[in-house]
């Protein structure tokens, strides 16, 4: 049965619309938008008039009104227009179909997908997505507008769950990151939403997704959104319980002794530390959303922090010559 996407309530949507997740990396392209490009170029918005330079200026840009008033040829410059093209890699693997709090990890991930697009989209910007589902990569073309966003969220929410002991497909998170970088080379915003649970717990080992994520971040402004459930960090004292691995379908009866719970908490802490370390090495901002917290508030706090960082960068970034 298909599920409806978990919508953002009107008050939360209004709160997000008052925020703005700024894109500080320069983009390619000369299309319509509100972001800095790699180079100046023709646009649609008129700028200031200036004296005509024979042999350098296009006579089609002649400002005849100013020329008539001053009796000296003038041209009207145009503001270089640019658009943002953002792509989201949404992990819908079996481990995301888990949740022991108010909601499941998949629902929080879809909400994060909606929030990021609401925060970054301006007129003319486009957004697309790659879904990692059952070991296969499914691509959603880049579009713009509210209807396109609703269709994207509905498609993500309708993705069927992965049954236990389902054979794994040919792709995993590292391969999905490589595919995103290869098929979407144009500079823009890249968002990776996952639980990153394929990271080994040993702190001296490198996760397989670290290198492709670093390569992605070298070219694009990249954001990593980690989805966490509280039961992945510690176990409750509930005695004998049957546990199942959502990725492999294996089940095992486990007695929740104090020693076992302590060892599990230490291993989970080491795993999360490895994830944070790998993301820091990739140089990407890291947003953690939990199923037992109000993720809207966490997103808002993260955006405010990123805006402060963007303002500091803007003060030290030279202006683009026109």
- Yes or no: say if 194 and 78 are a contact pair by the CB < 8 Å rule: no
pLDDT tens for 51-99 read 888 877 888 888 999 999 999 999 887 655 456 789 999 999 888 988 8
pLDDT tens for 272-296 read 999 999 999 999 999 999 999 988 8
pLDDT for 193 equals: 97
Every domain of the chain and the residues it spans = 45-79, 83-315
CATH number of 83-315: 3.40.50.410
Question: Binning pLDDT at 50, 70 and 90, where does residue 32 land?
Answer: very low
pLDDT for 203 equals: 53
pLDDT of residue 163 exceeding 90: no
pLDDT tens for 123-146 read 668 899 999 998 899 999 988 888
> Which of these, 174, 188, 260, lies nearest to 223 by C-alpha position?
188
Map the chain to HEC letters. CCCCCCCCCHHHHHHHHCCCCCCCCCECCCCCCCCCECCCCCCCEEEEEEECCCCCCCHHHECHHHHHHHCCCEEEEEECCCCCEEEEEEECCHHHCCCCCCCCHHHHHHHHHHHHHHHHCCCCCEEEEEEEECCEEEEEEEECCHHHHHHHHHHHHCCCCCCCCCCCCCCCHHHHHHHHHHHCCCCCEEEEEECCCCCCCCCCCCCCCHHHHHHHHHHCEEEEEEEECHHHCCCCCCCEEEEECCCCCCEEEEECCHHHHHHHHHHHHHHHHHHHHHHHHHCCCEEEEECCCCHHHHHHHHHHHHHHHHHHHHHCCCCCCC
pLDDT of residue 14 exceeding 60: no
pLDDT of residue 313 exceeding 70: no
pLDDT tens for 176-228 read 999 999 999 888 889 999 999 875 545 567 889 999 999 999 999 899 999 99
- Yes or no: say if 255 and 240 are a contact pair by the CB < 8 Å rule: yes
Q: Distance between CA 303 and CA 119 in Å, rounded?
A: 9
pLDDT for 91 equals: 95
158 Cβ contact partners less than 8 Å away, ≥ 6 residues apart? 2, 3
Higher pLDDT, 238 or 5: 238
242 Cβ contact partners less than 8 Å away, ≥ 6 residues apart? 251, 252, 253, 254
Question: Binning pLDDT at 50, 70 and 90, where does residue 31 land?
Answer: very low
């Amino acid at each position: 049965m298909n599920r409806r996407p978990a919508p953002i309530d009107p008050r939360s949507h209004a709160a997000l619309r008052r925020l703005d997740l700024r894109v500080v990396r320069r983009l390619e392209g000369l299309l319509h938008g509100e972001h800095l490009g790699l180079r100046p170029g023709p646009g649609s918005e008129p700028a200031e008039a200036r004296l005509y330079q024979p042999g350098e200026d296009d006579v089609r840009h002649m400002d005849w009104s100013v020329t008539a008033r001053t009796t000296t040829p003038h041209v009207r410059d145009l503001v270089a227009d640019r658009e943002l093209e953002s792509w989201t890699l949404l992990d819908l693997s079996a481990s995301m179909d888990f949740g022991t709090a108010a909601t499941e990890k998949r629902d929080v991930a879809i909400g994060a997908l909606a929030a990021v697009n609401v925060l970054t989209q301006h007129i003319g910007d486009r957004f697309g997505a790659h879904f990692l589902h059952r070991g296969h990569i499914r691509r959603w073309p880049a579009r713009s507008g509210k209807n396109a966003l609703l269709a994207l969220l509905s498609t993500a929410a309708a993705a069927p769950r992965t049954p236990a002991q389902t054979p794994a497909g040919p792709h995993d998170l590292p391969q999905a990151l490589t595919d995103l970088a290869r098929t979407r080379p144009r500079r823009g915003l890249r968002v990776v939403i996952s639980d990153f649970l394929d990271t080994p717990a040993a702190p001296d080992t490198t996760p397989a997704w670290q290198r492709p994520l670093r390569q992605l971040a070298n070219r694009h402004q990249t954001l990593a959104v980690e989805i966490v459930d509280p039961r992945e960090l510690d176990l409750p004292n509930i005695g004998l319980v049957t546990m199942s691995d959502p990725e492999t379908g294996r089940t095992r009866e486990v007695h929740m002794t104090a020693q076992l719970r302590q060892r599990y908490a230490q291993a989970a802490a080491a795993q999360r530390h490895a994830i944070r370390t790998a993301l820091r090495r990739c140089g990407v901002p890291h947003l953690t959303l939990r199923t037992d917290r109000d993720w809207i508030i966490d997103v808002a706090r993260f955006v405010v922090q990123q805006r402060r960082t963007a303002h500091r960068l803007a003060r030290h970034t030279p202006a683009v010559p026109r």
